[in-house]
Amino acid sequence: MVNLVVLQRIAEVDFADIVLGTRIVDAKLRVLVIDGSYLDFWWSLEIPGRFAHHWERSHVDGTIYRHDNMPHGRWSHVGSFPQHYHEGSPNHVINSALPTDPESAVRELLVFVRSRLT
């Protein structure tokens, strides 16, 4: 089981310069970002290892960024399948090298967000 409280603390303390707040709902950690966007870090309660981490910016600049490992046949050509990365839009999908370890994944995505905001 993923320890969302530890991940929440990482977001709030280590990324306080870009994080306005956080919320835990079921198996998801929502992180509110200073530009009005948000990230959802989700891990399945039913399928061990299944995840989707999503940075929602469609209302800010029309983009989304999502790493997930849902085995959608549509993305079977991606080298890291079933893990894949939606880069900027739902239909632009490439390899995902995001770590599967929850703490590393949260840190890496928040570093990415920080780099995009500066």
For residues 86 and 66, what is the distance between their CA atoms, to the nearest angstrom? 5
Residue 95 CA: distances (Å) to CA of 27, 29, 57, 107, 109: 25, 24, 21, 19, 15
Q: Long-range CB contacts (< 8 A, 24+ apart) of 86-92?
A: 88/63, 88/64, 89/63, 89/64, 90/64, 90/66
pTM of the model: 0.94
Q: What pLDDT tens digit does each residue of the chain (118 aa) get? A: 799 999 999 999 999 999 999 999 989 999 999 999 999 999 999 999 999 999 999 999 999 999 999 999 999 999 999 999 999 999 999 999 999 999 999 999 999 999 999 8
